[in-house]
């Protein structure tokens, strides 16, 4: 049995700033992993972890080891959506020998948490940020609290909707990322940049730089 719980955080202005800073840095880490996916045509989470974990820890020391793992998971999950969904225009069978497109995560990309980086109590929760733990009041019904005790917590996702930050808790069975993708579309927070477009953009930027010199 699968279920979801959506919680709006009662964050003040400073807490929103800290959440935004975490979201932006998390996206930067995801983009580093995405380049490796493009170069290697591999998005297996364990393999990616072996390849990029040390590099990411050196490049983003303030992000912390567990959030680095969560960024790797986010890219692996998204690449599976883009390159393996049967109706995706970027499915491997349609790309053939062409280079993989580059996945670019925007600053609106969600942040993935886990039991190490977010804790839920009966009356509140604490969650990781770049400047220490953030604490929020949380009023859950008995049935909702029971889900945390008795069900497997599959995913915890932080996302921004307008001016509000929300947490989505997913309970239940194994990963089923395909069910969340609209047929033929990438997630709205990811840009899929095909190599031809990337080369054209690079050429245009280089030309502008030469003219300005």
Asked if the structure places residue 125 within a domain, the reply is no
Cβ atoms of 66 and 53 closer than 8 Å: no
Asked if the structure places residue 19 within a domain, the reply is yes
For residues 180, 181, 187, 193, the Cα torsion angle rounded to the nearest 10 degrees is 150
Question: What's the pLDDT score for residue 184?
Answer: 56
Q: What percent of the chain has pLDDT over 70?
A: 85
pLDDT digits 0-9 by tens, 36-78: 999 999 999 999 999 999 999 999 999 999 999 999 999 999 9
- Rounded to 5°, the CA angle 52-56-58 comes to 125
Q: Residue 191 sits in which domain range?
A: 3-112+150-212
Question: What's the pLDDT score for residue 196?
Answer: 59
Mean pLDDT over the full length of the chain: 86
Total domains in the chain come to 1
pLDDT digits 0-9 by tens, 195-213: 754 444 443 334 444 455 5
Average pLDDT over every residue of 166-170 = 94
Q: What are phi and psi of 111, to 5 degrees?
A: -110, 130
Using alpha carbons, select from 100, 99, 87 the residue that is nearest to residue 186.
Answer: 87
Average pLDDT over every residue of 178-196 = 73
Asked if the structure places residue 141 within a domain, the reply is no
Asked if the structure places residue 93 within a domain, the reply is yes
Question: What's the pLDDT score for residue 96?
Answer: 85
Asked if the structure places residue 132 within a domain, the reply is no
| Confidence (pTM) | 0.85
Those residues with Cβ within 8 angstroms of residue 79's Cβ, 6 or more apart along the chain or in another chain: 34, 37, 43, 103
Distance CA(200)–CA(55), nearest Å, equals 29
Asked if the structure places residue 169 within a domain, the reply is yes
pLDDT digits 0-9 by tens, 100-129: 999 999 999 999 999 899 998 877 899 999
Distance CA(154)–CA(172), nearest Å, equals 6
Asked if the structure places residue 137 within a domain, the reply is no
- 7-16: Cβ within 8 A, 24+ apart: 7/138, 7/166, 7/167, 7/168, 7/169, 8/164, 8/165, 8/166, 9/136, 9/164, 9/165, 9/166, 9/167, 10/136, 10/137, 11/134, 11/136, 11/164, 11/165, 15/134, 15/136, 16/163, 16/165
| 194-209: b (≥16 Cβ within 10 Å) or e | beeeeeeeeeeeeeee
Rounded-to-5 percentages of helix, strand, coil across the chain: 45, 20, 30
Asked if the structure places residue 135 within a domain, the reply is no
């Amino acid at each position: 049995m699968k279920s979801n719980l959506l919680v709006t955080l009662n964050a003040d202005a400073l807490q929103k700033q800290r959440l935004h800073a975490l979201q932006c840095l998390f996206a930067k880490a995801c983009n580093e992993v995405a380049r490796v996916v493009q170069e290697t045509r591999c998005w297996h989470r364990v393999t990616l972890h072996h390849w990029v974990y040390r590099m990411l820890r050196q490049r983003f020391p303030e992000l912390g080891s567990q959030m680095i793992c969560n960024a790797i998971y986010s890219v692996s999950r998204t690449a599976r959506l883009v390159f393996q969904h049967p109706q995706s225009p970027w499915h491997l069978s349609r790309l053939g020998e062409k280079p993989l497109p580059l996945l670019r995560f925007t600053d609106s990309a969600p942040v993935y948490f886990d039991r190490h980086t977010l804790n839920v109590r009966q009356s509140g929760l604490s969650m990781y940020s770049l400047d220490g733990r953030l604490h929020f009041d949380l009023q859950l019904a008995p049935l909702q609290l029971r889900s945390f005790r008795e069900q497997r917590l599959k995913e915890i996702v932080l996302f921004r909707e307008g001016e509000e930050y929300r947490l989505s808790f997913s309970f239940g069975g194994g990963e089923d990322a395909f069910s969340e993708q609209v047929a033929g579309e990438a997630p709205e927070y990811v840009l899929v940049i095909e190599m031809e477009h990337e080369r054209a953009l690079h050429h245009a930027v280089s030309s502008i730089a030469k003219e300005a010199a």
